[in-house]
Structure formats: C-alpha cells, structure tokens
Structure 1
Amino acid sequence: MARVLRYARRYWAVTLTIAIGCLGIALALAGAGSAVAWLFGGYALVVAAWQAVGMVRDMLRGHWGLDVLAITAIAATVAVGEYVAALLVVLMLTGGEALEDFANRRAKRELDALLRRAPQLAHRLEGDRIVEIRADEVRVGDLLLIRPSEILPVDATLRSEEATLDESSITGESVPVERRAGDAVLSGSVNGLAAIEVVASATAGESQYQQIVALVADAAESKAPVVRLADRYAVPFTVFSLALAGVAWWASGDPARFAEVLVLATPCPLLIAAPVAYLGGMSRAARNGVIVKGGGVLELLAAAKTAVFDKTGTLTRGEPELVAIRSAGGFGDEEVLAAAASAEQYSSHVLAASMIGAARERGLTLQEAERAREAATNGVEAVIGGREVVVGKFAFVLEHAPDAARTAIAPGELAIYVAIDGRYAGALLARDRVRPDARAMLARLDALGVHRTMMLTGDAAATAEHVAAELGITRVRAECLPADKVHEVAAIAERPVIMVGDGVNDAPVLAAADVGIAMGAKGATAASESASAVILVDEISRVAKAVEVGRDTVRIALQSIWIGIVVSVALMIVAAFGVIPAVVGALLQEIVDLVTILAALRALGSRRDTAPSLGGSGAKATEPTAA
C-alpha cells in the first residue's frame, strides 16, 4: 500500500486524471450526465492549455516537438463532443510521461547504484579515540578504521595484517578478494566480517570511487543523437497526421472523423522509445564493467569501423616479469637480483615492482638503503650495505661502470642493467605478457564489423611488431609521441575510430578519437577523464562487449521508434475510414505506448548478461609473451 501511495504522489497528474474519471462515473450514475461533459471537457482543455504553454516555450527555443498533435487531438475531441475520448487522451499523455519516468528509473538502476553507494562518513583514529568525520574531510596519511561491512571512503593502504574485501562495485569481480598489509585498497570496496585499519593514500575527490561516480553522472545527463533524430521526425509526422485527419474529415463530411484519426496520432512512442533504449544500453554497459559517457557514444560504438590500441597496459598486462638473470664479473644471480630489487624499492618505475616481486618470490631479503636517488627515466643510484648499487638503462649504468656490456635480447624482451661498486654486475631480462583475452577480443570485434585494427605505441619497433604478430595486427606504428598518435588517428579514413589506451600519454589521442576507451581498472587517470568510455575491469575483452552493447542498443532504439511510427500510422489509416471510434482509438494508443516502452527496455539485456572471460584455461596454456 505504501508503494502505491508513493507512486500516486510521484505521478500526481495520472492520479488526478483517474480521480476526475471516477468522479465523472459517479456523476453519471447519479443522473448528472451534463455535468460529466463539462467536467471532462473542462479538465481536458485545461491540460491542453498547460501543454500548449510548454510547447510555445520549446518553439521559442527553436525546438519543434510533437505536442501540437496531442493538443489538437484534445481540442478536436472536445469540439465534437467526444468527452470520454478527450479524457482518455489526457490519460494517455500523463500516463505516457509516467511510464517514461518509470522506465528511465528502471533502466538507470545499475548506474544509480554507484551514486547511492558513495561513502559519506569515515572513522579516523586519533590516539585512543575514534572520530567520525565526513568522507571529504579525510586527508592523505590519516589512519582510518573500517568496520565490518562498511564501505571504504577513500583509496588507502592496508595497515592490518589481512582483509577480505568485496570489490564488485569497482572491478566487477564477484568473488571477495584477499589483501595483505601494504596492499592498496580501493574506495567503494566493502569490508568483510572483521574490522580493519587503513592509511588514506588519497582524498575522497581523488579516489577511484569518486572518479567513477563523476563518470556516471556525466553518462546519465547525456542525450544521444538518435534521440534528436526522433525529434526531427516531429514535423513530417505532424504534417502527415494533420493531413490524413483533414482528408478523412473532407471525404466523410464528418468532423468526428478528424478527432478519431488524431487520437491515434499522439506521438508518445516516438518521443520515449529512443531515450529509454539508450538509458537501458548505458545501464547494461555499466553492469558489464563499462561506464559509457552518454548515448551518443553507444551510437558511435555501434557504427565503428576501426579499432586502434596502445600496447603496454592495454594489449599487454603492463607488468613486465623477470625471465632471466645474466650475472657477470663474478657476481651470483641471487646477489644481483637482491641488490637490484633493494635499490628499486626507491623507484616509481613499473619495472621496479616487477623486480621487487621476483626477489620476494625467490625468498631474497631486501635491505634498506643508506641513501638513494632516482634519476628520472634512467634508473636508481643507492648505497646498500655499504656498497653503491646502480640499476637502470645501459647508458646510465655505463656512466658508473665502464666495463658494462650490452646483453643480447630477444624480440619483446627488455634488459635492466646492474652495477655494484663501479663494476658491471649483470643484466635482468624482463618480458611483458600479452593479455590472454586479447586475441579473442580482436576476433570478436571483427565479427561485430570492426574489421580494421591498428597498434600505436611509444615502444621500439621490434617490440611492437612482435606483439602485433602474436595478435594478428598488421598495421603498427611504433616509437610514437602523444602528438604522433593524435595525427595517426586523425588520418584514418575508415571511421568511426575506437582508440583504447590506459596511460596519461594516451589522454590526447583518446580525446581525439571518435570513441576513446580507457582501461581504468588500475586507477583514475587523465586517460579516464578524456575518454568517452571507461572499462572498470582489467579485461581487454570488455572493448568487444562495449561494441556489442552499442550495436544492440541502436538496433533496439530504431526498432522501437519505427514500431511506434508504423503502428500509429496503420491505426490512423484504419480510423480514417470510420472503423475505430475516438474512445477505442484512445485506448488502443495507450496500449501502443506500453508496447513501445517494453520494446525499448529490451536494451537492458537480461540480468545474466555479463561479458564472458575470453581467455580461458586453454588460452593460458599457449599464452604468448611479449613486451
């Protein structure tokens, strides 16, 4: 009952129209039939005047809509004495708006879920006290207490020994994940059954969850080109409907025929089909781990002809793994790795984490440095255990160890050189693995009509061509600066173009492409901000899923628009011969509205519609490796 009352208040215009109808029935039963005509007619004309004011305002803003048909239909039915039909047209208008609102709320459920879950409060530990503060008051370095089943308010580092977290709202991973002390934990994750302590590593506004919420807000406010296309049908549909109604009146000599045609021309299906379908498509994309910043992006995805990819972190994992140790100068393999990893603790380079991880996997003890300095883009100098350790590029190590020698590497490999106390100690070879689902993703794109693929990367040509050969990509441009990537994408003739990347250096080309898709699972970056869509799950297969959702959504939107047009026109033609009375026509149009909305809601997909993993155990068995 409470739900019924809530809907009655929310859709008050429908409630009032039904109340007027019930009052009219009561008056008719009481023998006051003339009062019913005045009641229904007067109420219908008031609604028509209200609609006319809004229509004039839209026209003054340059927007020619379809309201003129509804207003004309109400006035015509009142003029010919079809008061019941006039009330039904009003019910159709108010009910259509209510159905549209209800459908939109249903379609946006997955998107709104992110907004509703946004953390509002945090518990800061200050000595022996727990102080409750707003999430936006958290500062980097604050020690926070996260109670069981609470949402993490900011990105942080786990201080407790271990934690079990539900990251499904962020990554799409349905299985809770285990985290250890020192691991990064994401805002928006739900804590398990034990209270934990974390150290804030970002403010609320800079945290992953708030960035996602901002993307969702942008997505919900967008209006798609197909919706505007439906608006452009307004003038021809209006002219056709009025002309058909006028011909029916002229041929029959009966003005009631004019009203009978127009009650079936009320264009609710044409107005609401596309918006409902596009909101459904954005909701389906969100459920599959892809935030789409508007319905227009779905339309471009549906029409895409070319897909361009960055390499590192996009087609590859972006996490090079140690594959060989080539020690020299009398140093042992474990000695070289331990020294390099100890020094790399003071580096922010992606290779540092790989070397540190490899050392820990081998059970090696990492030492703290007496002093350390990182030379940006070159390497690290550190004094560890009284010895000077230099790790980095060959030229950088050669400056400190004149006996350094280049080591041979295979295509797709890279070398990290090491010197200890001014002597060349050897090289560590690493390789970046191709994502196991990349090849299947490219095949799926081809099946969806995206037949042309290209790789743009700043890496060396040999490395880029090795990865491209593994994946079957024939068009490659290596050693690209950000500006080069923009120029390459602008020169592509087969459009629309999708560009997929993950790094800050990809932000310009993501903004320049027709559709920029950012791999945002590992954090919100400039790439996410400039992209048209953001993949929240660390799976490249979601690119193909985004294209699939776009194609399905556009197809359903256009189908729904044409269902509304074709059915309405067919019923109008029948009504022109006097077969359908005005009251029956109004009831039929109400049914057409409902059918059109239900057709558009197909864009939501089923609740089980989630992107399958394209890299199964079979893919892992033959997984290629490349840098």
Structure 2
Amino acid sequence: MDCQVIHSTEGRLRIRVPWIADNSEYTDKLNWLLESLNFVTSIRINPAARSLIVTYETHLVSETIAEAELLDRIQRFGNADGSTDLILPETKPLDRPQVNEWEQLGLPAIALGLALVAAPLEIPPLIIGAAIARAAVPWFSRATESLVVNRQPNVDLLDSLWMTFHTLNGQFVAPSLKTALVGVRRTLRGMSGEEKERQFQQLLNGSQQLVWVERDGQEQQIAYQEVVAGDRVIVYPGDVIPVDGQILQGTALIDERHLTGDPQPVVATAGEDVCASARLLEGKLCIQAKRTGYNTRVGLAFQLLQAEPVYDTQIGTQQAEFAKSAVVPTIFLGASIFALTGTYGPAITPFQLDFGSGIQIAMPTAFLGALTAAARHGVYIRSGRVLELLAQVDTIVFDRTGTLTQGNAVVAVHTTDPSISPTEVLKLAATAEASLNHPVATAIVYAAETQGIQLLECETWDYFAGMGIACQIDGQEILVGGDRLLQQHHVDFSCLQPEIDASTDSYIYVAKNGQVIGAIFYTDFLRPESADIIATLQQLQIEIYVVTEDNPKVANAVATQLGMTPNCVHAHATSQNKAELVQALCHHGKTVAFVGDGINEAAALSFADVSISFASGSDIEAETADVVLLDNDLAGIVEAIALAKRAMEIVYQNAAIVIVPNLAVVTGGIFFGLNPIVNVVTNNFTAFLAEFFNSTRPLLRTRRTRETREQGAEELQVQRGDYQLPITHYPLPMMKKLAQVET
C-alpha cells in the first residue's frame, strides 16, 4: 500500500505511511527530509498510527503542490529498510547539551518560593535548607569534582561555601535567589543557542530541496545535494538561493536579511555575487555555483556555531588561571575578616567576587558572535584565538603574486634566435608548468591552450621552491624558472639581458639542454583595490611589507604603484627569504599576518601569527589558512581586522560591566554590611547584561554592494527576455543600469 493523505485542512496534512515503524533512525531521517522543504513549518510523526502530520506555509505553496511534493519525497525516500533514490547529506550532529529545566528552573524556583514564604507560613528551616541544598547540587558537584579529580579548588567552592553559610545562618532568600537567577541565565543561554542553531539549520534546510539547474542546455530539477561547484542554478521568484555563486544572467530583487541583517531588498544583476539563504523576491537568475552546503557562508557560520571554537583564547586562559589561583587567597581573606570582626556576614562576602561565571560566559559569547558575523560577511576565521591575534596584528606581509595582483597575467614570448619558434618556447614552458597551481603557471598554460598548442608529457619533473622547474621532455633537459635556477644549473642567460633591462615586466627563462632558448615576460596587474587597502591599513598604524620573486626593477615599480617606500618591498624573495622575514619580524615583537596562498609561501604562512589567504576552491574546510577570504577582494582583510578589534572591545567592556559593580557590592558587604540579596541581584544582572545584550550587538555594518529599493515608489515593468521583471522606482542611474542588462 502506498502512502496517502487521509485528512487535510488549510495548512495541515495528515499522511498515512504504512511502512513507518519503531525505527528511530528511519523516522529521524524522514523528519529531516520533509523539514528540508522550504514551505514546511513542522513535522509530527506517530509510528504507532503509521502516520505523520505536516503543517506548512499556505502563502508559499498550494495544498495540491504541497501534497504532491510531500508524497513524492516520502515515496522516493523508500521503506524503513533504508532503500531510497534520494541522496541524503551528511548532517552534522548537534552536540549542544539539552537544557534540564527541572534542574535549572524547577528546583531553584521551589527553593526560592519556600524561602519567601518561610516566615508567614512558619515552614521548618530544615525543609527550606534541604530545598536550597538540592537546588545547589550543581555547585557542590563541580566543587567536589575539582577537588577530587583535579586536586585543586575552583570558584564553585566559593559559591558553595557562601550558600552553605547563609543557609546555616537562616538567611534563605539570598542563596535560593542565586540558584534561581543563575538557572534562568543558563536556561536562556541554552535556549538562545538552540534557537540560533535552529535558525541556521532552517536556512540550510530551506535550500536543501529540489533545485533547477541548466545542464547540456536543458533545465532539469535535481536534489540540492547533487548540485556541485560549476553548475548553473536557475532561481525563480519565491525561491531561496541554494548556493554561493556568481550571477551569469538576469536581474532580480533579493532579500539578504539573514546574511547582512539589512531588511531592505537589494538589486542583483549579472556579474555580481549572491549567497545561499537569500530569497529571490522578483525576477529570475541564472547563477554559477561556487560553493554549496556547509561551504557556503551560512553553512560556515552554522559550523562555527556548533563547534564553538572560542575557548582557546589567551585572555580566556589567563582569566581561568587567575580564577583558580585566587580561590585559596579569597578563603584566607574571609577567614581573616572573621578573625578580626567575629561576624560571618562580612567574612563570606569576598566569596561572591566574580572570578568566573560572568566573565567566562560573556567572553565566548562575544567571540562566537564575531566569528559567525565574519563568516556571513565573507571572512572565515577559524577560532577565537585567531580572532584575538587578528586584533593585535601590527604588521602584514603580502606576497605580491595572486594577492595584490589579479592573478591573470598576460604573457609574451621572446626567443634568443629567429630560428627558434615562440610556439616551441611556450609549449615547453606550459608543459613544465601544467602541474602547478600558481597564477603565472596558470597564465602560461592558458596562453598555450588559447593558441591551440598541444602539451607534451614530462618524463621527469622536479620543482625547486622559489626558483623554477627542471624536467625532461622528449629526452630534452628543460629548465623553466628565474635567474637562480639557471645559475644553479650553470646556464648562461646574458643573451637576453638587453630585453630584460629594457622591460619592467616580470620574466622566467626557458632553457633546453643547457642553452637558453627564450624568455616569457608576464604582467600581472595589481588589483584595483590594492593601493587603497594598503593605504587604509597604514592609517591603522599597521606596517606593510611586500615580498616578490621579481627583480628589483619590478619591485620598485610595485612600491611606486602602492605608495610604499622601496625598502618595504623585498625583491628576489625565495620561500626561505619570506619565512626568514616573518621570523625576524616576530622576533622583534611584532604580531605578524602573512597574506599569500601559493606553495612558495607555505613556510611563511606557518611562521606567521595569522595566515590569510583567498579561498582557492569550493571546500573551505580544506583550506589551511587561519583566515580565509571567501570573496575575491582584499577589503575582507580590513573588515576582518576591524571586526576583531571591535570584538575585543566588547570583551573588555564585558569585563568592566561585570567586575566594577561586583567589586562595589563586595566592598559594600565587607565594610557597610550591604544586604547579600543586593550582591546576588547585581552580579546576575551585570552578567546577563554582558552576555545577552552587549555581546550580541552588531559587530559589522552592512556592506552595501548593490543599490537598495526606495520606499513608497511606483511599480514599473522592465522587459527581461522571456519574462517581465516588476521593480520599484529607482534613482536614474539604477534605472539605466537595469535597462542595459540583458538576460
């Protein structure tokens, strides 16, 4: 018997699925599969009744389409034995511990309630004390574990002693209020984390459905999981963009609020980049996929939210070590006060010094918010420690090729003799360079391919980092590289010196059997933004150095174009030279970031405090750099540094928000007998303020790359090939831009 709809109302379907059994793995996968449809709001599976109930958004889909789509998904998913023709992605488990509401809210609420009504109801103190002791079990457990397992006291011991002494003295409200307020904070933290994960998962799942792609000139619908980098994805009004990619055709109005936080729709047109999770409001787009799934911006942000790589920071480690070392002195301070005053109140007040809970929670919240914000804005920062170092960077070393330059060099071939064909020189060079992933190698191979040159096979092949390649082709010994490579192999290249002296281009030699047969001159133009980015970084008091494998003439020209002094641009820089420069700067106390992504920069990247590179492929997790720029734009470096500095400002603000009031009320308790309830309320209020308000403030202003729609304007129609694009009235420059776009 096939599955069928047995009852339906508006926005709700009940579907009988005969093969649903008490198989939790099967039902979990089926639940995930159906929730991945963008119109589905909830799924409730009843294995005993062999049925499920689906609620859906009626404004997104009609009942007929919803029913057909759901039945198709269920049928394609197959039976409980696991047979299916759908490709299920590898989902990442949510390791966040479940909130124990009874432990965190129920027991503390009972204890607080009993404490408040103890006097009028004459409740026996033993009962109230037992309730408080039960609510405080988490503190006692952590304190005991630290003493038994780690052989040292922790801050939970101070809290345990403080609650115990107050309870034994008959002051029940303060300790019970403490357990209640801390329980509320912990519950809100857990709920907030779960809600963020749910939102990110929903953004991902909103894309994980059937997607239209263009293959072999035909539009076809495939499962989202089958989309790969390079596919041409077709997106229609109402659809969620499923990939990060570049628009090939079309103009549309899209909603990017989940990425940028900006509720204003923006116009996107051919040549611009768009990101997964944005919703298409009007128009039609053909997008070339660059990254899919967990490698999209929203996917990377979700992974960071799950992994929480924020507990490796130096400031966090220092704070934790200070908290551990302060426990015993605090106990001695309390004992000393008791010896002098003979009263327990002022003596145990120092036990409420906030060495841990407020600061330790507020710091990771700020770091995690910064990491996820950076990912949504096109900068993938691996951990809180990297973010912390990025805020301290005072020196940046750029490798010129492929970072400051566009990475699409133009080549020209010079031969040493008219009898030597430029085609032969280019063929040998391209054959030798074909295995390298380097902008110059790519340009040489591309030049050969555009001229229809068939590459040969290398019989032997050796790469000399920073110098070039030595290989054997058709029995001929071939060298392709710079001065040092030819000098090392005792090859004279003076015959090309006049051409080299007259040119400001970079070059590599091509030698065959110990004789230079030609040189390939190449020009890799600077990125349009390079000079401005360098100037901006210098305004931030960051020292800039540029390393290049080119000769001093080219290096000086680069310095002039970038507005730098020649002594900051290092010519003839080998891999070893680059690494030595980074090491020397670090040795002089600099916090150094190195920007590069070639194999010649591997050593320098590893020695730098922070390594930065552009995303070289569709798998971001495979990148080795500490900071990966998802967009092909150096502006990401400035944004990353600004975000890191802002995040650290918030961390220090959080510390001040927690520490200053805490010190004030503790001092008041010691010298003026301030009621401990004031201490409890102040400590929890400031911790709450730091964690849930200050740490969650926006860290980056929305980067506006496209014009936004003006409010309250007239609707117009712009013809776009085979469809009409309704748009709102734009300023005249935008109207001209739209009218010129062809799809």
Contact 2:212–2:219 (8 Å) recurs in 1: no
Deviates more, 1:303-312 or 1:107-116: 107-116
Show the counterpart of 1:512.
607
Corresponding letter in the other structure for 1:468: A
Structure 2 SS opposite 1:517: strand
Asked whether 1:71 is paired with 2:160, we answer yes
**Unaligned ranges ≥5, structure 1:** 3-7, 331-335, 360-365, 379-391, 396-402, 419-425, 614-627
Show the counterpart of 2:105.
15
- Matches of 2:275 and 2:654, distance apart in 1: 39
Residues 94-243 of structure 1 mapped to structure 2, 5 A cutoff? 94-98=183-187, 100-101=189-190, 119=208, 132-133=222-223, 135=225, 146=234, 148=236, 149-152=239-242, 162=249, 176-178=268-270, 188=276, 193-194=283-284, 212=300, 216=304, 220-223=308-311, 224-243=313-332
Contact 2:115–2:173 (8 Å) recurs in 1: no
- Matches of 1:202 and 1:609, distance apart in 2: 22
- Matches of 1:597 and 1:549, distance apart in 2: 18
Corresponding letter in the other structure for 1:482: S
Corresponding letter in the other structure for 2:682: L
Asked whether 1:462 is paired with 2:462, we answer no
Q: In structure 1, which of residues 546, 550, 557 is the aligned counterpart of residue 644 of structure 2?
A: 550
Q: In structure 2, which of residues 524, 527, 538 is the aligned counterpart of residue 432 of structure 1?
A: 524
- Residues 47-100 of structure 1: CA deviation (Å, up to 9, x unaligned): 333322223434524775321121111111111111111111112332343455
- Matches of 1:590 and 1:546, distance apart in 2: 32
Corresponding letter in the other structure for 2:556: E
The Cα of 1:573 is off from its aligned counterpart by 1.5
Q: Count how many residue pairs are aligned between Structure 1 and Structure 2.
A: 560
Show the counterpart of 1:620.
none
Distance 1:253 1:548, change over 3 A: same
Residues 523-542 of structure 1 mapped to structure 2, 5 A cutoff? 523=617, 529-542=623-636
Show the counterpart of 2:145.
57
- Residues 79-127 of structure 1: CA deviation (Å, up to 9, x unaligned): 1111111111112332343455567679999988986677576678999
**Unaligned ranges ≥5, structure 2:** 1-40, 42-97, 462-467, 470-479, 484-494, 511-517, 707-743
Show the counterpart of 1:608.
701
- Matches of 2:704 and 2:213, distance apart in 1: 39
Contact 2:359–2:687 (8 Å) recurs in 1: no
The Cα of 1:565 is off from its aligned counterpart by 2.8
Deviates more, 1:441-450 or 1:511-520: 441-450
- Residues 322-368 of structure 1: CA deviation (Å, up to 9, x unaligned): 8x9999x99xxxxx99xx99x99998985798799999xxxxxx989
Show the counterpart of 1:82.
171
- Matches of 1:466 and 1:350, distance apart in 2: 19
Contact 1:74–1:86 (8 Å) recurs in 2: yes
Q: In structure 2, which of residues 124, 127, 132 is the aligned counterpart of residue 44 of structure 1?
A: 132
TM-score (norm 2): 0.59
Distance 1:447 1:44, change over 3 A: farther
Deviates more, 1:529-538 or 1:242-251: 242-251
Corresponding letter in the other structure for 2:339: W
The Cα of 1:26 is off from its aligned counterpart by 8.9
- Matches of 1:417 and 1:475, distance apart in 2: 27
The Cα of 1:599 is off from its aligned counterpart by 7.0
Distance 1:317 1:280, change over 3 A: same
Contact 2:105–2:184 (8 Å) recurs in 1: no
Show the counterpart of 1:572.
666
Show the counterpart of 2:342.
253
The Cα of 1:446 is off from its aligned counterpart by 3.2
Show the counterpart of 1:34.
123
Corresponding letter in the other structure for 1:220: E
- Matches of 2:153 and 2:201, distance apart in 1: 31
Contact 1:307–1:498 (8 Å) recurs in 2: yes
- Matches of 1:246 and 1:84, distance apart in 2: 24
Answer 1 or 2: higher relative contact order, Cα 8 Å, separation at least 6: 1
Show the counterpart of 1:487.
580
Distance 1:255 1:288, change over 3 A: same
Residues 443-462 of structure 1 mapped to structure 2, 5 A cutoff? 443-451=535-543, 453-462=544-553
Show the counterpart of 1:333.
none
Show the counterpart of 1:92.
181
Distance 1:112 1:429, change over 3 A: farther
Distance 1:58 1:539, change over 3 A: farther
Structure 2 SS opposite 1:530: coil
- Matches of 1:488 and 1:209, distance apart in 2: 33
Contact 2:241–2:275 (8 Å) recurs in 1: yes
Asked whether 1:283 is paired with 2:372, we answer yes
Contact 1:285–1:292 (8 Å) recurs in 2: yes
Distance 1:547 1:393, change over 3 A: closer
Corresponding letter in the other structure for 2:570: R
The Cα of 1:559 is off from its aligned counterpart by 3.8
- Matches of 1:254 and 1:404, distance apart in 2: 93
The Cα of 1:286 is off from its aligned counterpart by 3.0
Structure 1 SS opposite 2:595: strand
The Cα of 1:236 is off from its aligned counterpart by 4.5
Contact 2:214–2:233 (8 Å) recurs in 1: yes
- Matches of 1:462 and 1:63, distance apart in 2: 63
Q: In structure 2, which of residues 685, 688, 695 is the aligned counterpart of residue 591 of structure 1?
A: 685
Show the counterpart of 1:293.
382
Alpha carbon RMSD of aligned pairs, Å? 5.8
Identity %: 22
Distance 1:186 1:278, change over 3 A: closer
Corresponding letter in the other structure for 2:647: T
The Cα of 1:231 is off from its aligned counterpart by 0.5
Deviates more, 1:511-520 or 1:16-25: 16-25
Q: In structure 2, which of residues 405, 414, 435 is the aligned counterpart of residue 316 of structure 1?
A: 405
Q: In structure 2, which of residues 592, 595, 601 is the aligned counterpart of residue 500 of structure 1?
A: 595
Structure 1 SS opposite 2:397: strand
- Residues 562-607 of structure 1: CA deviation (Å, up to 9, x unaligned): 44233222211110134312223222222232233357516x5456
Structure 1 SS opposite 2:631: coil
Asked whether 1:268 is paired with 2:357, we answer yes
Residues 329-478 of structure 1 mapped to structure 2, 5 A cutoff? 350=439, 369=452, 373=456, 412-414=504-506, 431-451=523-543, 453-471=544-562, 472-473=564-565, 474-478=567-571
Show the counterpart of 1:625.
none
- Matches of 2:275 and 2:693, distance apart in 1: 37
- Matches of 2:607 and 2:286, distance apart in 1: 43
- Residues 440-475 of structure 1: CA deviation (Å, up to 9, x unaligned): 333333343423x22223334432332123220523
Contact 2:251–2:285 (8 Å) recurs in 1: no
Show the counterpart of 2:396.
307
Distance 1:145 1:99, change over 3 A: closer
The Cα of 1:39 is off from its aligned counterpart by 4.6
Deviates more, 1:46-55 or 1:212-221: 212-221
Structure 1 SS opposite 2:123: helix
Contact 2:210–2:221 (8 Å) recurs in 1: no
Contact 1:69–1:267 (8 Å) recurs in 2: no
